[in-house]
Amino acid sequence: MGRKGLLLVFSGPSGAGKGTICRALLNEIPSLRLSVSATTRPSRSGEIEGKHYFFLKRDVFKKMIEDGQLLEWAEVYGNYYGTPLQYVQKTLAGGNDIILEIDIQGALQVKEKFPEAVLIFIVPPSKSDLKLRLLSRGADAEGEVARRLACVASEMNFAWRYDYIIINDVIDRAVSNAAAIIRAEKSKPGYLEDFLRNFSDEKTSDR
């Protein structure tokens, strides 16, 4: 019916559970697609090129910025992250929904360019819970964990700029809340604009 795709942006402190929620939504909602980000940080154990990230050299990433090939980009913890623009445009034009799991700086850039984007902020139930999550996953050194925790307070200040906040205390409930947000957004007149216009243009006759 000519419906456009929905652009969903998930952000939040490192360790809040953004990736877990996004993966669950991708399994649950067939129309969802995941945008793979580009980054200059080294790959972690088990990460696959083109699936988890596009791992690029800094000079290659900077060239993409210069050529306007990124929807958004930011420098986070000393590394560059960005979203390739072409895939996002193609996915939305095809009527599919797309998830961007990106940092706060990038999310606000997306909102400026695409006001219709839906921004969802994922937070842990407490700072102490977040620390336990970061330490238990073993992906970062203790010093890196401390640095990420030090950024939480400033990151939380940006939660007011988002459309929704999900407290990830129980993962199943957090996923259910995210799915409910998507269903609600797809019921808004703005999302159904083309459908409503076609419906109103149909010729009717009185009998």
Cβ-based neighbour number of residue 197 at 10 Å:
10
Residue 31 marked ligand-binding: no
User: In angstroms, what is the C-alpha Rg of the chain?
Assistant: 19
Residue 13 marked ligand-binding: yes
Cβ atoms of residues 122 and 21 within 8 Å: yes
Residue 14 marked ligand-binding: yes
Residue 84 marked ligand-binding: no
Residue 188 marked ligand-binding: no
Residue 17 marked ligand-binding: yes
- Whole-number Å distance between alpha carbons of 39 and 135: 23
Residue 68 marked ligand-binding: no
Residue 16 marked ligand-binding: yes
- Whole-number Å distance between alpha carbons of 177 and 68: 35
Q: Which sign does the torsion angle of CA 165, 177, 172, 96 carry?
A: negative
Pick out the residues of the known binding site for ATP: 12-19
Binding residues: 12-19
